[in-house]
């Protein structure tokens, strides 16, 4: 270890990246992606983290979390993380607060690795250098031609699994949902694993009936067929369907993870929501204790080093919006080819804010 270092600075910024057109899944519409970044300073180095959230996450960082970490040992992530968690007691520690804490934790891991002059892979451990990805997007707002274009993009990246959104308009357009799955098979070919995400848009009965048809169509993954809060519903579907039932993208801590482990076939974890790299590693360890694989939800560039560090990884979601935004926000995103992100030995996670990102900075 190099000399002692304490956290001396906490800086935030907010970036808004408009989508090319309005987008939607089964239960939500949006027209932009907002990234909240945090930069931690110590010992002449800086660490970068971010979350996809509301600009209010930056206020949580500056108003609450910054005071909890200033002057703390920059090498002691567990103590700092505990201090941040305790400081948020009266705010609640899920949702927006968990997203703010996640960005801080990611920045702290990056900072520590840079202080040690090593890659995050050396700090976390590395089970693999190539991290498998799957193509994700397939918004309900896309035309067939636009979906075909997206599938061609995924194929060019070597993706062997692809996921689209279903559950359109809170499960009121099931015929179109299933027709779009058939179109996905047509565009992707017979060798690609098909995946769908209903974003909690169906009732249990709807999801069971839709899932039976998905099984006939050879779909391997049914994500959030019902709300991830409905663990009883997930359990019912897990026992009724052949396709894997997946959930976990909204898990904020180990208690959320614990509730999902008995009712999913694959656990999803999102490093920008579950407490950063620390929370993600804890969740992955719990999944391993239940013989479950983990799939990383969105934020592919941020997930690359931590996904490489666990033995029970299934894949990382190469989400269309984030795959587009990350190279605009930062320099140094991992190289994608042959259906995987390829890691190198750059210090930390290897990414820095791009100068061009200032174009989209709103705070």
Q: For 82-101, what is the mean pLDDT?
A: 98
What letters, b where the CB count within 10 A reaches 16 and e where it falls short, cover 295-307? bbbbbbbbbbbbb
CB atoms within 10 A of CB 7: 22
Question: Where a domain ends, among 118, 141, 156?
Answer: 118
**Which residues, including other chains, have CB under 8 Å from residue 167's CB and lie 6 or more apart?**
25, 26, 27, 177, 197, 198, 199, 200, 201, 202
Whole domain around residue 292: which residue ranges?
122-355
Residue 336, domain member (yes or no): yes
**In terms of domains, do 24 and 146 share one?**
no
pLDDT at 3: 80
pLDDT interval class at 104 (50, 70, 90): very high
Helix (H/G/I), strand (E/B), else coil: 113: helix
Mean pLDDT over residues 334-348, rounded?
97
Backbone dihedral region for residue 298 (phi beyond 0: left; psi -120 to 50: alpha; all else: beta): left
Dist CA 185 CA 337 (whole Å):
22
Listed residues 75, 93, 118: the one ending a domain = 118
CATH at residue 30: 3.30.390.10
Mean pLDDT calculated for residue range 251-270:
98
Residue 1 has pLDDT above 70, yes or no: no
Structural domains in the chain (count)? 2
Is the domain of 33 the same as that of 132?
A: no
Average pLDDT over residues 286-293: 98
pLDDT single digits (tens) 108-133:
999 999 999 999 999 999 999 999 99
Q: Does pLDDT of 224 surpass 60?
A: yes
SS3 100: helix
Q: Is residue 88 part of a domain?
A: yes
Indicate the pLDDT class of residue 2, thresholds 50, 70 and 90. low
Q: Mind spelling out the 3-state secondary structure of 57-87?
A: HHHHHHHHHHHHHCCCECCCHHHHHHHHHHH
- Give the mean pLDDT of the chain: 98
CATH number at residue 237: 3.20.20.120
> Is residue 278's pLDDT more than 70?
yes
Q: Which of 75, 90, 118 is the last residue of a domain?
A: 118
Give tens-digit pLDDT for 182-200.
Answer: 999 999 999 999 999 999 9
Mean pLDDT along residues 305-312: 98
Three-class secondary structure of residue 251 per DSSP: coil
Same-domain status, 101 and 179: no
């Amino acid at each position: 270890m190099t000399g002692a270092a304490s956290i001396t600075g906490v800086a935030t910024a907010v970036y808004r990246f408009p989508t090319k057109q309005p987008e939607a899944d089964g239960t939500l519409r949006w027209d932009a992606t907002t990234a909240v970044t945090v930069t931690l300073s110590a010992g002449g180095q800086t660490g970068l983290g971010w979350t996809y959230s509301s600009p209010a996450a930056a206020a949580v960082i500056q108003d609450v979390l910054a005071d909890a970490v200033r002057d703390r040992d920059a090498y002691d992530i567990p103590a700092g993380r505990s201090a941040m968690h305790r400081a948020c007691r009266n705010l609640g520690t899920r949702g927006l607060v968990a997203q703010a804490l996640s960005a801080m934790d990611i920045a702290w891991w990056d900072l520590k690795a840079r202080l040690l002059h090593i890659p995050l892979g050396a700090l976390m451990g590395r089970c693999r250098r190539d991290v498998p990805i799957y193509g994700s997007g397939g918004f309900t707002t896309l035309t067939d031609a636009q979906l075909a274009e997206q599938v061609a993009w995924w194929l060019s990246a070597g993706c062997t699994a692809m996921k689209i959104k279903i559950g359109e308009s809170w499960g009121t357009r099931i015929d179109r949902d299933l027709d779009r799955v058939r179109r996905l098979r047509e565009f992707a070919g017979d060798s690609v694993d098909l995946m769908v995400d209903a974003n909690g848009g169906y009732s249990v009965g709807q999801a069971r009936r839709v899932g039976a048809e998905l099984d006939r169509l050879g779909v391997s993954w049914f994500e959030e067929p019902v709300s991830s809060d409905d663990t009883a519903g997930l359990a019912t579907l897990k026992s009724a369907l052949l396709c894997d039932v997946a959930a976990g993208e909204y898990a904020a801590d180990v208690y959320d993870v614990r509730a999902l482990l008995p009712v999913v076939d694959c656990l999803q974890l999102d490093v920008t929501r579950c407490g950063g790299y620390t929370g993600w590693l804890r969740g992955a360890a719990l999944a391993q204790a239940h013989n479950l694989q983990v799939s990383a939800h969105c934020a592919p560039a941020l997930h690359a080093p931590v996904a490489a560090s666990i033995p029970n990884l299934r894949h990382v979601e190469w989400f269309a919006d984030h795959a587009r935004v990350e190279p605009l926000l930062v320099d140094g995103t991992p190289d994608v080819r042959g259906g995987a992100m390829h890691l190198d030995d750059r210090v930390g996670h290897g990414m820095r804010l791009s100068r061009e990102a200032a174009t989209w900075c709103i705070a």
